[in-house]
Structure 1
Amino acid sequence: MKRFAWLLDERWRVVWFLTLAAALNFGDRSAMSVVLPALQQDFGITNVLLGLLGSVFLWSYAIGSPLAGNLADRFSRSKMVIGSLIAWSTVTALMGLAAGYPMLLVLRIALGVTECLFLPAAVALIASYHGPETRARAMSFIQIGANSGMVVGGSVAGYFADHYGWRVGFFVLGGAGIALALFSRTLLPASAPRSATSARPASFTDAVNYILRVPSFYVLLGESMLSGVGMWIFFTWLPLYFRETFSMPMSAAGFAGTIMLQMWLVVGVLAGGWLSDRVAAHAPHRRMLLYACCYLLGAPCLLLFLGQPSFTVVAVGVSVFSFMRGLANANDNPTQCEIVPPEYRSTGVGLMNAVATAAGGCGVLMAGILKREVGLGGIFAGISLCFFAASALLFVGYHFFLRKDIARAQARAVAMRDTVSVG
């Protein structure tokens, strides 16, 4: 039993709670994509208006993310996490009461605003409890929770839509989030370790001034934009692709459209977290190299959507791509933590989220516009170009900028710890 005592250690209890919260965070946002056919029938809306439901969520999430990140650098990250959980769960439950398309559109905007408060605080909270030796593994659990949540959220929404109507799934998912918030005090500490805080709260101007003078951060922003376009198109439209192409019911399409993307991605993230910490043990800059290689190997798998592939071919292509993407993404937030000092990390995550979701929102809407002319299969195949470009950008960052940016962040962190000790 002593061998597993670490599972109950405070720094890992934080990880378990945030993993569950991340599952609900992504499950609630993904539920909408599964019930798109039912919404189209109920409200009589076009493909473009369906795409707009995904886009307005992502755009509101993007607009709120930089401010959300800075709030998490200035105030209690634990309270930010809990407040966001309660708020987005309430909005999710209210979606089940939507009387028409305009109300649903407003609620999707509200969901983006409330959900964007979670991830910057959660990532920085884990970074404050886990040093470089366990950071990637710890952060990988948030991604595992997020991607598992998309499977569960899509499956729950699809099941209830098929059997009881599309509204019931939103009531169930929203209630689950509020229930989790009631148990937050037993798992989530009220404050982060003092060693992880700065002598004074970081102002948004100070944080942005530092972050935007880090060349490697621009590399990560570019990668976030490119991968955000690709992945949000997948998350939003893949269930509908399965329903239209293979005549699946909503529950089966929702399950297939999320399990292929998420199951192997979860395996990849779990393996990638361990691999990232091993690769970066004495050379933290190698995380970005691993990141780039995994994207380069995974991108060609999406070309299998060209033509009229069978379900088996699609399943293999999406699964292999998802596994390689999981290996890659295990390096995302840990790399950001290597180049951004602790007092600015939430702001950094917020900026990356803003770019990724804003670009993703544009991609989702564009897919809705192009769906009739190009087809979803052609759109999915085109996503491979986004990941080839992201890989090239990461290789550039690794070779030209990363080492200097890591050294600068380490020197800043040492100086801030000395300031806190003196204070």
Structure 2
Amino acid sequence: MNERPWFTQTRWRIAGFLALAAALNYADRAAISAVLPALRTSFALSDVQLGLLGSMFLWCYAIASPVAGVLADRWSRRRQVVWSLALWSAVTALMGAADGFLALLLLRGALGLVESLYLPAATALLADHHGPETRGRAMSLHSVGLNFGVVLGGAFAGYLAERFGWRSGFWVLGLAGIGLAIASGFFLRDGPQWENVTAAPIRAVRPSLGEALRYLAGVPSYHVLLAKAMLAGVGVWVFLNWLPLYFREAFNLTLGAAGFAGTFMLQISTVLGIAIGGWVSDRAAAGGAKRRMLVQGLSYLAAAPFLLLFLTHPGFTAVTVAVSAFSLFRGLGQANENPTLCEVIPVQYRSTAIGIMNTCATAAGGVGVLLAGILKRSLGLDAIFAGISLLFVIAGLALVVTYRRWVERDLQRARTHAA
């Protein structure tokens, strides 16, 4: 047993760095949501064009994610994290120089391509360094970084846009990421020779894509996680893209206030839920790894009803309550997602599995963002937000059924395959 204080251990130093990188990852992708009103004014954009800016990122991210996952299973995960961080930061800085809708659209696509390299490698790198006893908390710390980044991107970009123009936020965030990439050598290293779950050596022979896909095709629990990722991805990305504009239009807030309100309430409760969820996940898994999936399913079912409040066309206080409660339970469930995946999938296929899941989530999210832009005028954002509750009910029920029927068999198969 390691007697060193936790904050001096390599595995937690890696988790802390990745949480910071994750914050910048989501800050850079979310920053554009806070400046949509300014972009609409500067370039005379329609709601559909604004929706396309969100969808272009998600679709390019989705297309590249499987390739990113395969790469992370076949070469240095540490290097992939660092290259992704450096490249997405450079693209973010370039967005500050965009001179029209086409340039923004192309740069959003490029951002999706290079950011897709990060999550499969970073999540698998965490799993390489953290076994079942700390995996939930380590991945929750990483998820806290991701969700805090949305607040950072939205509030910071909105604040700078009001004072220095909408371009300034992209420049500052991009330069910060390049600096972090330069410092990465002091914090990151590839996984140890021995994998914590099975105490079996990681083989030098890398699996082929065909081997990975054949294995993943036979894991019902993974299929349900993919479906859940698509359902939740629609809801989460619709919120991230359109909530700041909703506050701007419904309550006549300034750009900075709308960017803050549209990200802070959504994400601070998610961060709290993830922090609690990481602890709950590890405690639940002490009685059996399959319990992580049950916690996730019940959390999603608890989150769904709060969004129905949007059907009443609520005031600012009611929106705050609804969004915060929904985000708290969603975060609690989200904390169990990657630990569950890393336990039903053997180490040599994890990045590929994560890459495919990212594709499903972001492709569905891109469709949702664009549909919201198309339906916004006829239905209104209140009805669109309320409809997300149904998606979370379906996802929650699917997870509970999987907990009862398939996950134990898949866990045993993963242990046997890894050994």
Matching of residues 213-252 of structure 1 within 5 Å: 213-252=218-257
d(CA) in 1 for partners of 2:340, 2:225 = 9
1:418 is aligned to none
Q: 1:70·1:202 contact (CA, 8 Å) conserved in 2?
A: no
The alpha-carbon deviation at position 71 of structure 1 amounts to 0.2
**Superposed CA offset, 1:376-406 (max 9, x none):** 1110001001100101111121111101000
* 300 and 174 in structure 1: CA distance in 2 versus 1, 3 angstrom threshold: same
Matching of residues 86-105 of structure 1 within 5 Å: 86-105=86-105
Structure 2: 5+ residue stretches without partners: 196-201
The alpha-carbon deviation at position 308 of structure 1 amounts to 1.9
**Superposed CA offset, 1:117-166 (max 9, x none):** 00000000000111011101000011100000110111111011111110
Equivalent AA in structure 2 for residue 333 of structure 1: N
2:199 is aligned to none
2:380 is aligned to 375
The alpha-carbon deviation at position 5 of structure 1 amounts to 2.2
TM-score, normalising length: structure 2: 0.97
2:300 is aligned to 295
TM-score, normalising length: structure 1: 0.96
d(CA) in 1 for partners of 2:292, 2:34 = 34
The alpha-carbon deviation at position 307 of structure 1 amounts to 2.4
The alpha-carbon deviation at position 209 of structure 1 amounts to 1.1
The alpha-carbon deviation at position 4 of structure 1 amounts to 7.9
Matching of residues 328-367 of structure 1 within 5 Å: 328-367=333-372
Secondary structure of the structure 2 residue equivalent to 1:133 = helix
Structure 1: 5+ residue stretches without partners: 415-423
Matching of residues 105-184 of structure 1 within 5 Å: 105-184=105-184
What root-mean-square deviation, in Å, do the aligned CA atoms of Structure 1 and Structure 2 show? 1.1
Q: 1:92·1:174 contact (CA, 8 Å) conserved in 2?
A: yes
**Superposed CA offset, 1:85-139 (max 9, x none):** 0000000000000011101100000000000000000000000111011101000
The alpha-carbon deviation at position 219 of structure 1 amounts to 0.4
Percent identity for Structure 1 against Structure 2: 56
Secondary structure of the structure 2 residue equivalent to 1:139 = helix
2:72 is aligned to 72
Aligned residues: 412
Equivalent AA in structure 1 for residue 20 of structure 2: L
Q: Verify: 1:413 aligned to 2:413, yes or no.
A: no
Q: Give runs of ≥4 in structure 1 deviating > 6 Å.
A: none
1:193 is aligned to 192
d(CA) in 2 for partners of 1:4, 1:43 = 56
**Superposed CA offset, 1:47-67 (max 9, x none):** 001000000100000000001
Q: Verify: 1:322 aligned to 2:327, yes or no.
A: yes
d(CA) in 2 for partners of 1:26, 1:405 = 32
d(CA) in 2 for partners of 1:54, 1:19 = 24
Q: Verify: 1:50 aligned to 2:50, yes or no.
A: yes
2:198 is aligned to none
The alpha-carbon deviation at position 199 of structure 1 amounts to 3.3
Equivalent AA in structure 2 for residue 193 of structure 1: P
1:282 is aligned to 287
1:419 is aligned to none
Equivalent AA in structure 1 for residue 192 of structure 2: P
